[in-house]
Structure 1
Amino acid sequence: MLLNKKQKAEIFLYIFLKFILNKILKREGDVLPAHILRKIDKNVFKNFAKHITSLGIPVILVTGTNGKTTTSNIIAETVKFSGKEVCFNSNGANMTNGILGAIIGSYKLSKSSGLGIKDIALLDFKFSADIIVMECDEKVFPDVCSILNPKIITATNFYRDQLDRYGEVNSTVFGIKKAVKKISEELKNNNSGRISLVLPSFEPLAAFLGYDINADKKYFGFDESFFNSNYSNDINSAENFTGIELSDAVTCPNCKNMMFSSKGHTKNRFLYDFKCEKCGFAGHEPDIKATENISGSLTLELKEEKPSFFSFKPALSGDYNAANYLAAYSILKYHLNIGDDIIKTSFENFKTKFGRSYKKKSGDFEINIDLVKNPAGFSGVLKKLTESGSKVNILFAFSDRAADGRDVSWIWDVDFEKYKDYIENAVISGLRPYDMALRLKTAGMNPKKITVEYNLKKAVETIMNKAEAAGLNEKKIYILPTYTELLRLKKYINGIK
């Protein structure tokens, strides 16, 4: 299937708009040019998706509440390292416009007899990627899924997130499952094979996507030995997980009956031991699981006729990132047939771009930035920061703009009580700093260690000065922003030497 004249004109317009945006207005992103194209032509996404399908380009969609940016980037960077070209939304623009922009941006001009608008029909654009890897927001997933018809889908997890925007998490999951089931049935009816699902064994709502669906399913998860080997301080041991760290699936997503775990609901959420006695929906033993995390080396066990193991030193730490690596490895190993040597080298050298999780050196200090946007993710970040048992200096940049979610009550579900004693200094900025200050004080943190500074630039300087004065052995500063504060941070952090 060849591009028609209209599609060539749309690619040309996209390139022109992006040039104006990037070079003249000095703004980044693919979103605005794609938004303008969709205003001009409401079928632009569907038409380009048809062209991609005709080329036989495989599509991988990564969705979920936490970890989808990191997981999709790990997959894409490893595929690139293997020698293939990848189309992916590396900047985390995971709504419809961002995904469309990444796709149109992958069309490259191969030859032409002129560059004038009258010569559009003679322009020859070629889709430059061998594979598409897209991070996709949960809310737009059903529409994007129906348009792109992915062959592989992975879900990281589903937790309460911006309830004023998404609604309850169960309704989000049901919408995604309906879209997955529709594609599965279409493939079956057309004798076109089966869709591949890569799902976490430990999270009931994400695992539910594979329940009662005709698909090739792979489950990833954790062995209990992973937690027994992972922590130097008792607060994060497998025996001390609290209710907030459990899945948000209190009731069975299939029949609404109460869920239970034979190990008890105070155990950690990373085990697959959950079951509904009414309908039989239950966790799966993982096809691939993390068994050890010792001395910075993560070991994965593959469930095969003869079990095999894969060990590497992950560039990213923490349980959530271990889950991200598991999801990525499952796709790269089982579905893309990339060798372990390539995967190992890529995993160990993976570098995050400025975004959800980012590191930067500044003098003797290492600045660590992690996006926080919901209770489960926030608690997971705090857990990661305290793995060593050392005290930490944290800047909380907390706001309630539209992209952050207007309702800030979710911070009362973050388990600050467990981690308060590990916070040496807390500086708080953003539009709602006193909400966060009150939450920390209520958790039992010493108010003398809490500083409110509305000016974000001054807040960054303040936490650096306090960290210097604290004289801790671990020369690290942690900045935990909500989404809009993350974007505002970029210009300040990039300017720090």
Structure 2
Amino acid sequence: MALKSKLAIAAGKSSYWFLHNVMHGGTSLPGKITLAIDPDVLKELAKDYEIVIVTGTNGKTLTTALTVKVLKQKYPEILTNPSGSNMKQGIVSTFLSAKKVKNGKKIAVLETDEANVPIISQYVVPTAFVLTNIFRDQLDRFGEIYTTYNKILQGIKMHPQAKIIANGDEPLFHNLQDLPNQVVYFGFDNQPDQDQKAPANTDGVLCPKCNHILHYYSRSYGNLGKYFCPHCGFERPELTYRMNAIVDQTPQSSTVKIDDHEFTLHIGGTYNIYNALAAYSVGAEFNLLPHEITKALGADDKNIFGRQEVVHVGDKDVTIILVKNPVGLDQVLQMIKTDKNPFSLAFLLNANYADGIDTSWIWDGSFEELPFDHIPSVLTGGERYKDITFRMRVAGVPEEHFAQRPDLKEAVNYIKQMPTKHVYVLATYTAMLQLRKMLADEGYIKGGME
């Protein structure tokens, strides 16, 4: 190992120890310090690992967490970045935190920001790429969906030996079969065939071969489903792993069958079934048995950072849910509106770089479909509270049920006084971090910011 790398790693590990043991936070700063000394240090840190890169627009954090749970059935020590610090400095910090693996494989499951896939791929040798989906997200960073896809492709093309485990219901991923990589697809196969189209404002519904509008035999949400082109014959590839049936769903859980193996996922939302299916597929490709995989996926052992994380604040059960783009927001709204009990709702909107500085995506969310007669209290807050306040007013929130608290501390105090036991808090990424930091400072959770 070069002297520069040794110095960089020593400085990074020292800062990591101090930040986590004294300051109780900080997952990206050690990486920044390390990279300032040796910009190529990741190559040295990652050289002995089998690496699974998880990327895509939505579902990266939960898919990563579920994949780690699954692989731990066979490999006890898995290195990962659980808080979603998924750019180069955060991934370097992850390797700085690694413990020595005494026996067995050294495996890292890394959530990776889409734009960082080609950056990270310069320094690591992935065993597999796991691709969740491509939706419109942060136009200031990614542009349109085809730009995002091409960024991911750029990284994959550096590693033709890596296996690709991709969502077969995403039309853009069909062309992965043109690469030299082995491609394995997962998807939904739980509905009878019926010729249909996606709603008119759906992104990504043009046939990649001939630009005709795609049709679907079945559709889950957005542009995902069993697609086909009536003009040129383009159609969904053969699935290796499939979700056969949704047995039951609540806002807190989903009971499903994957390859006819039934289990209950202790987190709600159809979109999270895709994440579980992705994790199942990775487990199967790592030669775990179906009962081992479903045992891991069905375990209700802890909340995932900011993803339907339930925090007890006074006498309230506060569910924190990250929202960041139209499709993800719509799926969250679809999930919470099925809650059979009255609940309160808060939306904390920021527009920093990590959130995306454009807030226009909130207008694509179907707030009008929320059962406001079932929601006795609605709160808006965050740095862009005026934007989300106006959106909620247009959606029809009764003024007598409405409150605005731009200051986060005041927002938390208001949440404590909301009239229902259950409160859903939808928050953009930096707003979520700020909220968790405040809840940590008040002793409601351990650890706040990254």
TM-score, with structure 1 as normaliser: 0.80
Matched, 1:274 2:206: no
Structure 1 Cα separation of the partners of residues 185 and 158 of structure 2: 21
Report if aligned partners of 1:272, 1:285 keep a CA contact under 8 Å in 2: no
Q: Tell me which of 344, 352, 360 is aligned to 2:311.
A: 360
Q: Which of 237, 257, 272 is the equivalent residue of 1:321?
A: 272
- 1:246-286 superposed Cα distances (whole Å, 9 cap, x missing partner): 4x21333x4461331055999864422233735x5432243
* Deviation sequence 1:357-387 (CA, Å, 0-9, x none): 3112346542111111111111111111123
Distance 2:103 2:191 in 1: 46
Partner of 1:203: 170
Deviation sequence 1:296-346 (CA, Å, 0-9, x none): 5633343xxxxxx2111111111011110000001101x111223332332
Percent identity, please: 30
Q: Quote the residue 1:292 is aligned against.
A: 245
Within the candidate set 168, 180, 199, 2:144 is matched to 168
2:153 aligned to which of 168, 172, 177: 177
Deviation at 1:172, TM superposition (A): 1.4
Describe the shift of the 1:239–1:281 C-alpha distance in structure 2 as closer, same or farther (beyond 3 A).
closer
Partner of 2:423: 477
Taking a change above 3 Å as real, the CA distance of residues 94 and 412 of structure 1, as seen in their structure-2 partners, is: same
Tell me the distance in 1 between the aligned counterparts of 2:297 and 2:218.
34
Consecutive unaligned residues of structure 2, counting only runs of 5 or more, are 445-450
* Cα distance, 1:107 vs structure 2: 5.4
- What amino acid does structure 1 have at the position aligned with 2:13? I
State the secondary structure of the residue aligned to 2:53: strand
What corresponds to 1:153 in structure 2?
A: 129
Q: Distance in 1 between matches of 2:205 and 2:223?
A: 12
Of 234, 239, 249, the residue aligned with 2:204 is 249
Q: Does 1:82 align with 2:74?
A: yes
Report the Cα distance in structure 2 between the residues aligned to 1:227 and 1:436, rounded to whole angstroms. 39
Q: Alignment RMSD, CA only?
A: 3.0
Alpha-carbon separation, structure 2, partners of 1:153 and 1:75: 12
Question: What residue is the counterpart of 2:212 in the other structure?
Answer: 258
Q: State the Cα distance separating 1:395 from its structure 2 match.
A: 0.8
- When structure 1 is superposed on structure 2, of 432-441 and 59-68 the one drifting more is 432-441
Q: Which runs of 5+ in 1 are unaligned?
A: 111-125, 188-194, 229-237, 303-308, 469-474
Does the 8 Å CA contact 1:196/1:215 hold for their aligned counterparts? yes
| CA deviation after TM superposition for structure 1 residue 456, in Å | 1.5
What amino acid is aligned across from residue 292 of structure 1 in structure 2?
A
Alpha-carbon distance in 1 for matches of 2:43, 2:180 = 25
CA distance in structure 1 between the partners assigned to 2:114 and 2:199 by the alignment:
26
What is the rounded CA distance, in whole Å, between the counterparts of 1:68 and 1:429 in structure 2? 26
Per the alignment, in what secondary structure is the counterpart of residue 352 of structure 1? Answer: coil
Larger radius of gyration: 1
- One-letter amino acid of the counterpart of residue 76, structure 1: V
In structure 2, relative to structure 1, the CA distance for the partners of 1:127 and 1:31 (3 Å cut) is: farther
1:140 to 107, 113, 116: 116
Q: Which residue of 2 aligns with 1:338?
A: 288
Pick aligned residue for 2:25 from 16, 20, 28: 28
1:490 corresponds to = 436
Corresponding residue for 1:235? none
Using the size of structure 2 for normalisation, the TM-score is: 0.87
Give the Cα separation in 2 of the matches to 1:440 and 1:226. Answer: 37
How many Å apart are 1:163 and its aligned residue? 0.7
Distance 1:420 1:346, change over 3 A: same
When you count helix as a share of all residues, which structure comes out higher?
A: 1
Match of 2:448 in 1: none
- The separation in 2 between residues aligned to 1:227 and 1:255, in whole angstroms, is 23
The CA deviation at 1:167 is 1.6
For structure 1, which segment, 377-386 or 399-408, has the greater mean C-alpha deviation from structure 2 after superposition? Answer: 399-408
Q: Distance in 2 between matches of 1:239 and 1:262?
A: 5
* Cα pair distance change 1:166/1:268, threshold 3 Å: closer
Secondary structure at 2:123 match in 1? helix
* Matches of 2:211 and 2:295, distance apart in 1: 45
Where does 1:405-416 land on structure 2 (aligned, <5 Å)? Answer: 405-416=356-367
Count of equivalent residues:
437
Q: Which residue of 1 aligns with 2:328?
A: 377
Q: Which residue of 2 aligns with 1:431?
A: 383
> Structure 1: which amino acid aligns with 2:164?
L
